[in-house]
Amino acid sequence: MSAPTDLSTVHDLIAAVRGPVLLPADDGYAAEIAAWNVANPHAPVVVVGATGTADVAAAVRWAGQHGLPVAVQATGHGAVRPAVGCVLITTNRMQELAVDPAARTARAAAGVRWSRVLEAAAPHGLAPLNGSSSQVGVVGYTLGGGLGPLGRTFGFAADHVRAVEIVTADGVARTIDANHEADLFWAVRGGKGNFGIVTAIEFDLFEVPALVGGGIYFPATHAAEVLHAYRAWAPTLPERMNTSLALLRLPARPQLPEPLRGAFVVHLRVAFLGDVAAAERLLAPMRAAAPALIDAVGDLPLPAIDAIHQDPVDPMPTRERGVLLGELTAEAADALLGVAGPQADVPLVMVELRHLGGALGRPAAVPTAVTGRGAVFSLFVIGLGVPGLVPVVDAVTDAVLAAPGRAVVPGGMMNFSGGAGPEVLLSNWAPADRDRLLRIKRSYDPTNVFSTNQAIV
């Protein structure tokens, strides 16, 4: 079936949905498809601005009738591949959010970002398991695993999903949970967008009476001391202490404070459930490792949780990939510094080690397709996704991810797997889980309608 090229061929789609239906020549098309990650511009044959489940179902059915693949976008933070020659469903109009403080749960529609959940849950002393940036979408983040600043304490976001509302390739809207279509419920929590368009999820909130959070920036001159101190210190920490360490090449933006502007810095991020005095005691070895440029760890209101990682908010071009590590030896730390330390002239934005373990290492109460439970660190690289630099970024990323050598262990989250092809993505799963995922994929999406972005087939 050839792709529709003018409005006359999409009149039945326009009639079937309440939201806008836009073709490439239409005003508003460019704004509708715009993504946070601008490295991989989308070019769908038609974009549908869904207003609810009925719109999503109609768009999926229409795509099926015309033999077109279906892509979905909430915020574009996960646009690691361009959505081309497909029907793109945008979910930013789907903003329904309800918090149930008694049940300690929330239900968020497909377009909700974490910032709204944080604001709605905080007055009840409750927190979601959001990631480093509250601008990221709840659904995409959770389906891809969801490793956030409170992960060691409570686990992956995907592990704490109660129910998923999903439109599958046949255009049918289903509500799935541990007792209804349990196979699909397992696959979608970790297997991301390969099984349908999720219209809403219901998930747990957690009691967080007090959070100590923030970050310590160290200068390039002490990168080695800080990295070596971190690799020895992190594995000694209790589950209440969540940390990560990033080698950052920061832009020369006037918005950044002077010591960070245009600088290479090492950023220790901290999220501790407890009081400041206990956090200070745990942080002492890192503070002793080197003098800080900025030291800002203290009581943190939950809606201000972005202050921990201080991720960029404005759209930018990124190219990313990660692996999991079973340990970080002194040799591996030196090798990392060799390829990505302050002396290296490389187009990287960030090389990040997140400390795993704790609740992240335990299976979910209702098993999910999230892998890598035995890993001790996640190693994640972000480079500049600028056309001329891509081959260099890819080569440097390869070198960084290979630096830990045999410490690399199997597994990996979709959220940190970047734009790899199906074969590499599937290698995140052990053979039995891989077979199970593919079996479920064939059963619910036999013609591979959901074959865009991080596709496993």
Ligand X SMILES: Cc1cc2nc3c(=O)[nH]c(=O)nc-3n(C[C@H](O)[C@H](O)[C@H](O)COP(=O)(O)OP(=O)(O)OC[C@H]3O[C@@H](n4cnc5c(N)ncnc54)[C@H](O)[C@@H]3O)c2cc1C
Out of 60, 197, 273, 384, point to the residue binding ligand X (CB under 6 A): 197
Question: Binders of ligand X: how many residues, by CB under 6 A?
Answer: 34
Instruction: Choose between 113 and 222: whose C-beta lies nearer to ligand X.
Output: 113
User: Is residue 359 within the footprint of ligand X (CB under 6 A)?
Assistant: no
Neighbour tally for 208: CB within 10 Å:
19
* DSSP output for 264-275: EEEEEEEEEES-
For residue 393, the cross-strand partners are: none
User: Is residue 371 within the footprint of ligand X (CB under 6 A)?
Assistant: no
Instruction: Choose between 196 and 404: whose C-beta lies nearer to ligand X.
Output: 196
User: Is residue 380 within the footprint of ligand X (CB under 6 A)?
Assistant: no
CB of residue 141 vs ligand X: minimum separation in angstroms?
Answer: 4
Q: Which residues from 251-290 bind ligand X, rule CB under 6 A?
A: none
CB of residue 102 vs ligand X: minimum separation in angstroms?
Answer: 27
Instruction: Choose between 317 and 367: whose C-beta lies nearer to ligand X.
Output: 317
Strands (E), 135-210: 161-167, 173-177, 197-204, 206-207
User: How many angstroms separate the CA atoms of 296 and 308, rounded?
Assistant: 9
Instruction: Choose between 242 and 415: whose C-beta lies nearer to ligand X.
Output: 415
Instruction: Choose between 192 and 231: whose C-beta lies nearer to ligand X.
Output: 192
Q: Which residues from 401-420 bind ligand X, rule CB under 6 A?
A: 415
Decide: helix, strand or coil at residue 217: strand
342 touches 218 (CB < 8 A): no
Out of 127, 136, 273, 337, point to the residue binding ligand X (CB under 6 A): 136
Instruction: Taking each helix axis as running N to C, give the angle between helix 182-191 and helix 431-444, from 0 to 180 degrees, rounded to the nearest 10.
Output: 110
User: Is residue 190 within the footprint of ligand X (CB under 6 A)?
Assistant: no
CB of residue 257 vs ligand X: minimum separation in angstroms?
Answer: 20
CB of residue 312 vs ligand X: minimum separation in angstroms?
Answer: 6
CB of residue 316 vs ligand X: minimum separation in angstroms?
Answer: 8
The interface region with ligand X, picked from 115-123, 193-201, 211-219, 384-392 by CB under 6 A, is: 193-201
The interface region with ligand X, picked from 24-32, 190-198, 402-410, 417-425 by CB under 6 A, is: 190-198
User: How many angstroms separate the CA atoms of 257 and 222, rounded?
Assistant: 19
Out of 40, 53, 105, 132, point to the residue binding ligand X (CB under 6 A): 132
Out of 105, 133, 153, 310, point to the residue binding ligand X (CB under 6 A): 133
**Taking the chain, what is the end-to-end CA distance rounded to the nearest angstrom?**
21
Residue 62 φ then ψ, to 5°: -65, -45
User: Is residue 168 within the footprint of ligand X (CB under 6 A)?
Assistant: no
165 touches 254 (CB < 8 A): no
User: How many angstroms separate the CA atoms of 70 and 84, rounded?
Assistant: 10
DSSP state of 364: P
CB of residue 100 vs ligand X: minimum separation in angstroms?
Answer: 21
Instruction: Choose between 292 and 351: whose C-beta lies nearer to ligand X.
Output: 351
How many Å is the maximal CA-CA distance in the chain? Answer: 69
User: Is residue 192 within the footprint of ligand X (CB under 6 A)?
Assistant: yes
Instruction: Taking each helix axis as running N to C, give the angle between helix 223-233 and helix 330-340, from 0 to 180 degrees, rounded to the nearest 10.
Output: 140
User: Is residue 311 within the footprint of ligand X (CB under 6 A)?
Assistant: yes
| Contacts with 73 (C-beta within 8 Å, 6 or more apart), sequence order | 33, 35, 42, 79, 83, 88, 89, 90, 91
Instruction: Choose between 349 and 376: whose C-beta lies nearer to ligand X.
Output: 349
User: Is residue 140 within the footprint of ligand X (CB under 6 A)?
Assistant: yes
CB of residue 143 vs ligand X: minimum separation in angstroms?
Answer: 5
User: How many angstroms separate the CA atoms of 418 and 453, rounded?
Assistant: 9
Amino acid present at 262: G
134 touches 306 (CB < 8 A): yes
The interface region with ligand X, picked from 9-17, 133-141, 218-226, 234-242 by CB under 6 A, is: 133-141
User: Is residue 453 within the footprint of ligand X (CB under 6 A)?
Assistant: yes
Neighbour tally for 71: CB within 10 Å:
28
Q: Beta 97-100 vs 197-204: how paired, if at all?
A: unpaired
Q: Which residues from 62-101 bind ligand X, rule CB under 6 A?
A: 72-79, 91
Instruction: Choose between 336 and 414: whose C-beta lies nearer to ligand X.
Output: 414
* DSSP output for 278-321: HHHHHHHHHHHHS--SEEEEEE--GGGGGGTT----S-B-EEEE
Q: Which residues from 34-63 bind ligand X, rule CB under 6 A?
A: 35-36
Binding site for ligand X (CB under 6 A): 35-36, 72-79, 91, 110, 131-133, 136-137, 139-141, 143-148, 192-193, 197-198, 311, 415, 453-454
